[in-house]
Chain A
């Protein structure tokens, strides 16, 4: 196991009467790409700002290499931030922006020039030293912001929705670029986003947050395939969430149907919720499946069709590459590994 770099212990934060963090416990490791994911107002940005030192927690501890730092001002932390709207200094050119931190540390001029040059090369902006930052494109500003933070050789880089202001295409490029940069510099990245796709494609660890609490911590695959509760399932991708019972280990029931599944360890007859990913469901002929229904809508989504199938009890969403016309009677097939059983929300 890698070394723990940052530990958040029972972190809470109140703004006036409002509690925005309700006891965050999180370990962050060296060289990890960790993403805080959640809807706006879930506390992810506040968590980040506490790590950066812009906010003090109302209670709880922030340990950095085992040392409590929650009262330390930002300029004394080996942590740098890439801001949401980059926060490049408009009165300084590219070079002076990147050299800002080094100048404050009174680093030798020639060393600064060398380091700035290396950074610009890494982010693919060679020769941009004297450019006016306000005249750069969004993507270029983003790169300058990253270079400005990384040139200080922090142990941790914080990124607050850094791709939010970019358009879709540049965003895709920057995602892979960021991942590449993280591998190259080999430090911890803590990334905040509300975009689940971004979180799943870039991270080593995803932390799903809602309402000031952590909902689930895990690898992107875990989070996607084994959501621990309804919120995570609903937030990560589209899914069919169905209330049912766990009859016994490996056997689940809903709407009167019984299915084999791969989950165990629930009390008998426990009320649970089942997550069915739309892409795990298949449309078959009605005689080949337990669940049958009628197609009520078909929407082409570019690669697949989104088909809504209405049954006696509920409507299922199916993503498939096969077409089925509206009104057709169909069956829905699913295997044991397609069924994800979760604890019901509020049960713990």
Chain B
């Protein structure tokens, strides 16, 4: 109810200027860039074209989109299957254990993802730990070639993104009023029935926000594909990076980025629509 005081103006100024110059500015520039024409070699010509967008429809790039989409879908589905029970069971732990589990899940969040992925290289490589253990148990004769393959990338994706899913599910399951389940049971629902009709329905926002938090990044986490997938798996992210560096077709990279950005925005908007929530469930630091 209070009036704006002049004091606020000069305080806000740096943030306004900085944000407009370096957040809004670049985003607007890239949208513009996506309609420009790439020169042979380097640089762009500012003749308006939608060619960059139609180019995405070319089979070779569509394949990349489909491949990233598939990978994102695979890792998101697996993330749900692994992360939902994880977050759900965590929310039902006794308070003290719950706190410990919370710390345990937050900690890897802050460990550089490269370090964690590097650990997987050590485990998965041909002469690595996994093969060593499996061979000494005589479960396999020849070492498995997991590293630099599709499964390795999926493992990496799940590994990096799982905490987002777990935290999302956890934070909505944590808020759950358990007496509702008792009420459902009391009204004659079986355990399974009570779960699907009450628990699952009420933890839906958490699962949805987990899906968004894992699906969008998995389209763009090119360095996972890079490290664990060798050069075999090309994602939209890798494509953007390649176009920015070796391919040096910036307008095309800009168009790809804009598409990804629009998808991100749409998914967040959809989430808000579905759950009426102002922010995503379980965004770590809040």
Contacts and interface: CB of A to CB of B under 8 A. Distances in A.
Direct contact between the two chains A and B in their complex (CB within 8 A): yes
Nearest to A16: B1
B201 interface: no
B142 interface: no
Contacts of A55: 2-3
Interface string A9-35: 000000100000000000000000000
A56 interface: yes
A104 to B, nearest CB: 16
Nearest to B1: A15
Contacts of B2: 54-55
A104 B2 CA distance: 25
A107 B3 CA distance: 32
Interface string A47-66: 00000001110000000000
Nearest to A56: B3
Interface string B3-37: 10000000000000000000000000000000000
Interface residues of B, number: 3
A297 B2 CA distance: 48
A56 B6 CA distance: 13
Nearest to A20: B1
A15 B1 CA distance: 7
A54 B5 CA distance: 9
A54 B3 CA distance: 8
Contacts of A15: 1
A54 B1 CA distance: 11
Interface in A33-84: 54-56
B68 to A, nearest CB: 48
Contacts of B3: 55-56
B10 to A, nearest CB: 16
A56 B3 CA distance: 8
Contacts of B1: 15
Nearest to A46: B1
A58 to B, nearest CB: 10
A119 to B, nearest CB: 29
B5 to A, nearest CB: 9
A15 B4 CA distance: 12
A56 B1 CA distance: 12
Interface string B138-160: 00000000000000000000000
A15 B3 CA distance: 9
Contacts of A56: 3
A76 to B, nearest CB: 15
A15 B2 CA distance: 8
Interface string A332-344: 0000000000000
B20 to A, nearest CB: 27
A56 B2 CA distance: 10
A153 to B, nearest CB: 26
A55 B3 CA distance: 7
A56 B5 CA distance: 11
Interface of A: 15, 54-56
5 contacts: A15-B1, A54-B2, A55-B2, A55-B3, A56-B3
The 5 closest A-B pairs by CB, nearest first: A15-B1, A55-B3, A56-B3, A54-B2, A55-B2
